[in-house]
């Protein structure tokens, strides 16, 4: 029985944990894992600071976002070097997203992959 998994990676600790689970599932015979990272640019990447009232709080959100991006990059680089380069049943690609309206379009395109499981 063949199982195909599509993991959509946006970023953050929950996505890194989900990727760890998907990566582990991909270790089973007959399982194919495709990881698609959505890279957020322009208005899609803006940090919502509207509920923040103090400058220090806004700075904290921006710094945390930068730190999470660095952790995402580090984890995905490890994933790509370890898993993608050593396993033909695991693939990795990236999609640029520039606005909130692009997200449903990208998700609809990914749905056409016809996978058994979407994460």
Domain boundaries, the chain: 3-118
Q: What is the pLDDT of residue 49?
A: 46
Note the pLDDT tens digit of each residue in 74-97.
999 999 998 887 778 999 999 999
Task: For residue 69, give both structure tokens.
Answer: 């991006």
**Banded pLDDT at 22 (limits 50, 70, 90):** very high
Whether the pLDDT of residue 43 is over 60: the answer is yes
Report angle CA 9, 24, 1 to the nearest 5 degrees.
100
Paired with 34 in beta bridges are 6, 91
Task: For residue 65, give both structure tokens.
Answer: 């976002």
Q: 54: helix, coil or strand? A: coil
pTM passes above 0.85: no
Nearest Cα residue to 46 out of 67, 60, 65, 59: 65
Q: Are strands 117-118 and 90-97 parallel, antiparallel or unpaired?
A: unpaired
**Banded pLDDT at 116 (limits 50, 70, 90):** very high
Mean pLDDT of 1-24: 93
How far apart are the C-alpha atoms of 45 and 41, rounded to whole Å?
5
The residues, ordered by sequence, that sit 6+ positions from 109 with a Cβ below 8 Å of its Cβ are none
CATH architecture of 3-118: 3-Layer(aba) Sandwich (3.40)
Neighbours of 71 (CB within 10 A): 14
């Amino acid at each position: 029985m063949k199982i195909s998994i599509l993991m959509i990676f946006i970023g953050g600790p929950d996505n890194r944990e989900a990727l760890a689970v998907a990566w582990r599932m991909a270790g089973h015979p007959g399982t194919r894992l495709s990881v698609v990272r959505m890279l957020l640019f322009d208005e899609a990447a803006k940090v919502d600071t509207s509920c923040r009232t103090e400058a220090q709080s806004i700075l904290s959100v921006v710094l945390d976002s930068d730190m999470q991006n660095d952790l995402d990059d580090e984890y995905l680089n490890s994933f790509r070097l370890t898993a993608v380069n050593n396993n033909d049943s695991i693939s990795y690609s990236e999609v640029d997203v520039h606005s909130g309206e692009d997200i449903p379009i990208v998700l609809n395109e990914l749905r056409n992959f016809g996978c058994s499981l979407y994460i």
